[in-house]
Structure formats: structure tokens, C-alpha cells
Amino acid sequence: MKNFIEIQHADMVFSTRKGRFHALQDINLTVAKGEFVTLIGHSGCGKSTLLNLLAGLTTPTAGTLLCDNREIAAPGPERAVVFQNHSLLPWLTCIENVQLAVDRVFGANETKAQVIERAKAALALVGMDHALNKRPHEISGGMKQRVGIARALAMEPKVLLLDEPFGALDALTRAHLQDELLKIVARTQSTAVMVTHDVDEAVLLSDRIVMMTNGPAATIGQILTVDLERPRNRVELAEDGRYVHCRKEVLDFLYTRHGRIDRQAA
């Protein structure tokens, strides 16, 4: 499965009140099965827009997106999304939130008990089995994001789409969840596309880092292959020459070659 996800000449133009806004221009990208790809770029470069296209939440103005040789026309449970702000439903408990997803995918063929078992298993996978019956406002931000990941994983998606999943968390919690995600992805062999603005996160997690130029009409500026064997350990990698090199490469792209225009002016 070389080209599990294929993006061909994708263009995205938004018509806003101020006129047309050309967000993405001529995006071409392929993702192999089991690959972990991150999209990185300055805010407003359209990386979330690209992820929404993959999710099917928005449709491209031009170009095609394929997932497993089928065109992405609408959102679906085979492309699970972990949202930036977790988006758990506040009136449902953790397990009910996950169950809602499981029920949709497996509810037709499995008994209620099996569905609940799946939801529990997914929560156990992210280490949240102690808070099955808590509501989102009773748990911390990191825990909410874990439940969000559990909800996505429980659907056994073909692709996991993560939209800055750890952006709102403090550094320690973020590091912890990154390690968890590494383990989960290794265990489930998931294909994943993640949006981030954190260079360390990108290098630590990815097989390839897709660096995007600044908008408007953003496109892919460079793709960096991260040649680090797994499992990866953040402490050991900190002094690894290849890690440092990758990190430098991304920083160089983001700040030297494609620094934000407003920052250059300042």
C-alpha cells in the first residue's frame, strides 16, 4: 500500500465577506499505510484546512483527495478526527462519548455489551479507564484530550487525523501524551496525519514532516523524512545528531526561509 492517502492538485478557495481567500494552492501529497505524517507551518498557513479536506468536513475547490482508492467526499468514521479542543459532548460521560462513536461503527453488528466493551478498551488504551463515568468538566484538559483520542481510536479508523491535539496542554502533559500516542500508534499500526506547530513534536512523532509555506495560497514547501528508528525515546534523542539535524532543518524552514512576514517587519 504505497499510496494510502493521495492528494492531487488540491486547491481551496474560501469566499468570505471580504472577498475570495485562496487558502491552499496545488497541494500534492501521498501518505503510505502505517505512516505518521505531520503538517507544520505558521498559523494561518492552511494546515488545518488541509486536514479538514482529508476529514471530508470541507470539499476542495479543485483537485482530488483519495483515501484507500476512494474519493473523499464526506466525513466518515474511517477517517477519525481528534479535534484541537477535544470536542467532547459535555452532557455525556467519558464512556458515553466514546460509545457514541463505537455504536455508529459497530452497533449494527454487535451487541450492546460488546459495544460497551470496545468503549472501555479504547479508554483503557489511553489510560482513562478510571474515569469512565465522569463528565468532561470533571476531568483535566489532558484527560479530555485522551478521551478524544480514545473516541477516535475506538472507531478503528483507517486513518487518524489529529488537529493540533496537544496545542492547548501544558508542556509536561503534552510530552506525556506524545509518548502515549507513540506507543498507541506503534501498537495499532495506525496511519496518522497530524497538524502541529511544535517542532519537537513533529520530529519526535513523524516519519515525514510536511512543511507548508505561508498563506495566502499556501502550498507544500518541503518534505523532510525523519530517519529515526522506533521506538523513540525523547531523552535519548535529545542528543542524537540525526534528531538535532531534523529539528534544525524544520526550524530553518520555518524561521529563516519562511519566517512570518509580520515578524520580519517587527
Partner 1 sequence: MVSAVFHSPAQASMDAKSGAKPIGAVPAGPKPVAPVKAAKPAYDWHALGMKIFPPLIGIALLIGVWALLTLKSTTFPTPGATFTEAVKVFSDPFYSKGPNDQGIGWNILFSLQRVAVGFGLAALIGIPMGFMIGRFEVLSRMVSPLISLLRPVSPLAWLPIGLLVFKAANPAAIWTIFICSIWPMIINTAVGVQRVPADYLNVARVLNLSEWKVFTKILFPAVLPYMLTGVRLSVSTAWLVIVAAEMLTGGVGIGFWVWDEWNNLNVQHILIAIFVIGVVGLLLEQLLVSVAKRFTYDEV
Which residues would be at the binding site for partner 1 (CB under 8 A)? 55-57, 74-77, 79-81, 83, 85-92, 100-101, 104, 135-137, 144, 155
Please, what is the minimum distance in Å from the beta carbon of residue 172 to partner 1? 21
CB–CB of 27/7 below 8 Å? yes
Shortest distance, CB of residue 92 to partner 1, whole angstroms?
Answer: 7
- Whose Cβ is closer to partner 1: residue 73's or residue 265's? 73
Residue 60 or 232: the one with the smaller Cβ distance to partner 1 is 60
CB 163 → partner 1: shortest distance, Å? 10
The position carrying cell 484546512 is 49
Cα separation, 100 vs 48, in Å, equals 25
Residue 50 or 250 with smaller CB distance to partner 1:
50
| CA dihedral sign of residues 208, 233, 200, 165 | positive
* Least separation in angstroms between CB 116 and partner 1: 16
For residues 47 and 43, give the distance between their C-alpha atoms in angstroms, rounded to a whole number.
Answer: 8
**C-beta of 80 vs 181, nearer to partner 1:** 80
Amino acid identity of residue 67, one-letter, is: C
Please say which residue, 167 or 221, places its beta carbon nearer to partner 1.
Answer: 167
- Report how far residue 196's alpha carbon sits from residue 39's, in angstroms, rounded to the nearest whole number: 6
Q: How many residues does the chain have?
A: 266
Please give the C-alpha separations between residue 129 and each of 155, 174, 188, in angstroms, as whole numbers.
Answer: 17, 20, 18
Residue 157 or 220: which CB sits closer to partner 1? 157
In the chain, alpha helices (H): 47-55, 94-106, 112-125, 141-154, 171-188, 199-205, 234-237, 241-251, 261-265
Q: How far is the CB of 86 from partner 1 (least distance, A)?
A: 8
Task: Tell the smallest beta-carbon distance from residue 144 to partner 1 (Å).
Answer: 7
- Using the minimum distance from each CB to partner 1, give the nearer residue, 55 or 254: 55
Provide the sign of the torsion angle of the four alpha carbons 51, 54, 58, 64, taken in this order.
positive
Q: Which of 70, 33, 29, 20 is nearest to 50 (CA)?
A: 29
CB of 152 to partner 1, least distance (A): 9
